[in-house]
Structure 1
Amino acid sequence: MASTEWLEYILLHYRWVVVVFFLLPASLCFDVYYYTRSWIIFKLNSAPEHHEIRVKDVQRQVREWNINSEAVPMCTARPGWQSISFREAAYKKAFHKIQINMVDILEIDTDEMTVRCEPLVTMGQLTHTLTELGWTIPVVPEMDDLTIGGLVMGTGIETSSHKMGLFQHICVAYELVVADGSVLMCSETENRDLFYSVPWSYGTLGFLTAVKIKIIPAQRFVRVEYKPCYSLDDIVKTFTQETTKVEGNQFVEGVMYSLHSGVVMTANMCTAAHPGQLNKIGRWYKPWFFKHVETYLINHETGVEYFPLRDYYHRHTRSIFWEIQIYPIWLCPFKLPANPGMLHPLNGEEAVFIDIGTYGKPGVPSYEPTHTTRRIEKFVRKHKGFQMMYADSYMTREEYREMFDHSLYDKMRKKLHCERAFPEVYDKVNRKARI
């Protein structure tokens, strides 16, 4: 067996050894440094001043690229190990790298009910800062290390998305350095076409330098209800009923453990927890959340628990990508407004979609990733759905353009002279572009 095969075997079958003895200690040290630095900068209120300096540095780098008539496109210099994806961007080896060291929360405006962040602020960093002040954002994708920039340029979803939409729908303004080195602000009222073109563009229209996001009042706990289901019809009925409720149900998700069994969960923020029902699921000794949820299915019982707010937000973080298997499958409903841009609901009217998340690799000898994924992609295109592009995609360029509306995106690429400066989005997200 080749050395690479041995390494793959160890990572697949003994991942816990690598995680427990190497990744967790390293992650803890990095987080302690990162959060301490962020807290000091925020308390000193020096982030806005530093931000202007950093933006000018990005402008300088882009203008130097223009002066030197570089033949290769630009991309950020962020290393692959800092990405949440399990693939590394192959294009970074050949592209001209722009350093963007922007990791600070710039301003919290409780009158306007917004927070302004730099693109490398993480979900863990943002929720920690906001919840201490009694605030949060309407959509909090659950992985601690997901960045604001990645969620804007790609996408983000969470169990509040059936009411609030995707992450892009809680953003009210973007600041970018574009191909000529100038800075552009965009919102619904300023550079509107650019505002709607940025989401799903994966850094192919410019370098994101700041984002303004809506905030809402936070409460201390989240009350979670578990509803096990034992047939596909029951799952569909329960999931639909809970998703379409007008009142209540701030959060809705489902976890499928087989084709005919799963648990539907609904949740709401609250100010107090009942004695004996508080579950600090984020503690290191607690079971992985999806394994905890499964106990309600196995025991044939409904249940109610209370989570600390941040524990709820990041309940899936420790079990990222589950285990190496198909089940469980994550179900998350989300509202898709009829806005311009890459995504459009059917008939041009607001609609509810379901995100179906599978994590890991099927443990069957006949599994062939390219053929299987292309069959799924074909099915999704036929039914006017779309793929989350942080996953592997084997679509051709034409198929990708069939799935995503490029009309506004192409217009902005031409207007901002992006053809030489940045690759097309397809060239950054297709499987061949990722190692």
Structure 2
Amino acid sequence: MVGSFSHELILSLSVFQEICSEYTEVDLCIMDIALYLAGLGLLFFLWVKGKGLEYVIVHHRWIFVCLFLLPLSLIFDIYYYLRAWMVFKMCSAPKLHNQRVKQIQKQVQDWKKEGAKTFMCTGRPGWLTVSLRVGKYKKTHKNIMINLMDILEVDTKRQVVRVEPLVSMGQLTALLNSIGWTLPVVPELDDLTVGGLIMGTGIESSSHNHGLFQHVCLAFELVLADGSFVRCTPTENSDLFNAVPWSCGTLGFLVAAEIKIVPAKKYVKLHYEPVQGLAKICETFSLESSKKENDFVEGLMYSMDDAIVMTGVLTDEAEPGKVNSIGNYWKPWFFKHAESYLRANRGETEYIPLRHYYHRHTRSIFWELQDIIPFGNNPVFRYLFGWMVPPKISLLKLTQGETTRKLYEQHHVVQDMLVPMKYLKKAIKVFQAEINVFPLWLCPFMLPSQPGMCHPKENQAELYVDIGAYGEPKQKCFEAKASTRHLEKFVRDVHGFQMLYADCYMSREEFWEMFDGSLYHKLREQLNCKEAFPEVYDKICKMARH
């Protein structure tokens, strides 16, 4: 029996040797690598099985992100890029747009025929939005499917681009820049959509000259609560035009928008100026924000006393050796690159290709990615895997378990507070006392005196600043609800505003103390929205999201 087994083993080994002799050294090397990777995969699977998937996602999130979400995000990007390219080349979007709008109208009319038993909302899944939370109302309201994600027309004579609401900033700048045009205001992250930037708000470092994203929009097209179609401009249905921004889809369904475009230039000549001391930081930032000759102004505060103030000018010419294509995947993250000038304590000027500048914070999601992939800015990681970065915010939300959500809620802050520039110094002190998060993003914007939910206290335009806090609070006594409410109260007291994508802990009365609801409520009454859509507060308050 033993002899028979030995004989079979010898035969098997000889057969294996014959097979191996047919392979080259390269083939064997590839086999070794494949076996090694398979072994690693098996060990990882056993480790995940032993620890539990939830444990790995919560305590070692970078593993899950690197192995699964980065490849998935890349596939998403490739799909949407190819789709947008084909649609534009075939000119199919304008032909299909009217048909799609009629389908939306039919859905609204069917809702009415069925008795209008619940409120309506868009059927887009909550995890696809850029806000950190998912609206609970999606499960209880009538979902109206709005599949509108294409660029409809670029009219260079009128200097207008007409787009559907789900067109993203990345999609729009890729097309416009390729034909020599751009938007006056381009909010940084690729995945931000036109609809979200209109129904919510959007800002960019050019906003000190052009205002918020809503202020470069020339027309909105909506389907109303009764299923009718309406177009509104500053002169046609002007009340509705002014009430739509910040309304979060509670006056009607946005189906198209016309946005102003301007000729593009090749580069942004960007100057980095390190500034020390809070008083000097606020003085320098305020001064540069008031200069119309600056096309772009931005500040990054790395501590209470250290900041980089950046000013940019559009240009077609660049000095030799000073072009920095900061958007390339192997380049350092932008906020780290800017910090290097602060550490060296020297000013510097360089030329950044226009689209690279627009999306300078995309790869690192400002600085949020350092908390998800701690080694993400390491040169080795950037060169090997940087081409897959960043993971989609929507996929990060989709794969969050309840434990991760609770951890983020209690130990993570994402807020944008808009305050008058004259209160900048005081505001930074309040941010430091309540949450102590750095870096802080500073972005100036001019807020015109126009009707609507968001306008200056006095009857004239005023310079404001967006203070963005994204990260883990270092304040020992931080408590999400109490600390955020203190911030909200300060912002209300100085006649500022809170961006509505973030967690809002205000009561209804406090919310309408911050925002002017006079025109909004008037339109809600006139257009019979009260039975069709929830009030904006009921969509954005903390209780409405999870």
Superposed CA deviations along residues 143-195 of structure 1, whole A, max 9, x for unmatched, are: 00000000000000000000000000000000000000000100011100000
**More off after superposition, 11-20 vs 153-162:** 11-20
Residue 427 of structure 2 corresponds to residue 316 of structure 1: no
Superposed CA deviations along residues 120-149 of structure 1, whole A, max 9, x for unmatched, are: 000000000000000000000000000000
Q: 1:90 maps to which residue?
A: 136
Residue 388 of structure 2 corresponds to residue 277 of structure 1: no
The 5 A counterparts of 1:235-384 are 235-246=281-292, 248-320=293-365, 322-323=367-368, 324=371, 326-384=437-495
Assess if the C-alpha contact under 8 Å between 2:335 and 2:366 holds in 1: no
Superposed CA deviations along residues 223-246 of structure 1, whole A, max 9, x for unmatched, are: 110000111121112111111113
Distance (whole Å) between structure 1 residues aligned to residue 475 and residue 121 of structure 2: 38
The 5 A counterparts of 1:128-167 are 128-167=174-213
Deviation of 1:65 (Å): 0.3
Distance (whole Å) between structure 1 residues aligned to residue 276 and residue 211 of structure 2: 29
SS of 2:471's partner is coil
SS of 2:165's partner is coil
The 5 A counterparts of 1:156-235 are 156-235=202-281
Assess if the C-alpha contact under 8 Å between 1:223 and 1:306 holds in 2: yes
CA 1:10–1:162 in 2, change beyond 3 Å: closer, same or farther? farther
Distance (whole Å) between structure 2 residues aligned to residue 417 and residue 67 of structure 1: 16
Answer 1 or 2: which has greater helix percent. 2
Distance (whole Å) between structure 1 residues aligned to residue 193 and residue 482 of structure 2: 32
Assess if the C-alpha contact under 8 Å between 2:132 and 2:502 holds in 1: no
Distance (whole Å) between structure 1 residues aligned to residue 363 and residue 63 of structure 2: 14
Distance (whole Å) between structure 2 residues aligned to residue 8 and residue 363 of structure 1: 26
Deviation of 1:272 (Å): 2.5
**More off after superposition, 376-385 vs 23-32:** 23-32
Deviation of 1:33 (Å): 1.2
Superposed CA deviations along residues 299-342 of structure 1, whole A, max 9, x for unmatched, are: 11111111111110001011115245721000000000000000
Q: 1:3 maps to which residue?
A: none
Deviation of 1:13 (Å): 6.1
Deviation of 1:8 (Å): 8.2
Residue identity in the other structure for 2:149: V
Q: 1:116 maps to which residue?
A: 162
Q: 1:403 maps to which residue?
A: 514
Residue 531 of structure 2 corresponds to residue 420 of structure 1: yes
Q: Normalization by structure 1: what TM-score?
A: 0.96
Residue identity in the other structure for 2:454: L
Deviation of 1:363 (Å): 4.3
Q: 1:390 maps to which residue?
A: 501
Assess if the C-alpha contact under 8 Å between 1:321 and 1:360 holds in 2: no
Deviation of 1:364 (Å): 4.9
Residue identity in the other structure for 2:176: L
Superposed CA deviations along residues 207-266 of structure 1, whole A, max 9, x for unmatched, are: 0000000000001111110000111121112111111113x2100000000111100000
Unaligned runs of 5+ in 2: 1-51, 372-411, 413-436
Residue identity in the other structure for 1:132: S
How many equivalent pairs are there? 431
Distance (whole Å) between structure 2 residues aligned to residue 404 and residue 172 of structure 1: 23
Which of 50, 60, 81 is matched with 1:35 structurally?
81
Deviation of 1:28 (Å): 1.4
Distance (whole Å) between structure 2 residues aligned to residue 217 and residue 25 of structure 1: 35
CA 1:174–1:190 in 2, change beyond 3 Å: closer, same or farther? same
SS of 1:129's partner is helix
Assess if the C-alpha contact under 8 Å between 2:538 and 2:544 holds in 1: yes
Distance (whole Å) between structure 2 residues aligned to residue 184 and residue 299 of structure 1: 56
Among all aligned residue pairs of Structure 1 and Structure 2, give the percentage whose two residues are the same amino acid. Answer: 56
Which of 95, 98, 101 is matched with 2:147 structurally?
101
Distance (whole Å) between structure 2 residues aligned to residue 244 and residue 8 of structure 1: 50
Residue 96 of structure 2 corresponds to residue 59 of structure 1: no
Deviation of 1:81 (Å): 2.5
Deviation of 1:9 (Å): 7.5
Residue identity in the other structure for 1:189: T
Distance (whole Å) between structure 2 residues aligned to residue 430 and residue 336 of structure 1: 24
**More off after superposition, 274-283 vs 407-416:** 274-283
CA 1:193–1:307 in 2, change beyond 3 Å: closer, same or farther? same
CA 1:305–1:352 in 2, change beyond 3 Å: closer, same or farther? same
Instruction: Output the aligned Cα RMSD.
Output: 1.7
Deviation of 1:17 (Å): 3.1
Assess if the C-alpha contact under 8 Å between 2:132 and 2:501 holds in 1: no
SS of 1:84's partner is coil
Deviation of 1:43 (Å): 1.8
Distance (whole Å) between structure 2 residues aligned to residue 275 and residue 380 of structure 1: 46
Residue identity in the other structure for 1:366: C
Q: Normalization by structure 2: what TM-score?
A: 0.77
Superposed CA deviations along residues 4-53 of structure 1, whole A, max 9, x for unmatched, are: xx988866764443433322221211111111111111122221110001
**More off after superposition, 275-284 vs 122-131:** 275-284
CA 1:19–1:285 in 2, change beyond 3 Å: closer, same or farther? farther
Distance (whole Å) between structure 1 residues aligned to residue 60 and residue 291 of structure 2: 43
Residue identity in the other structure for 1:244: S
Residue 186 of structure 2 corresponds to residue 75 of structure 1: no
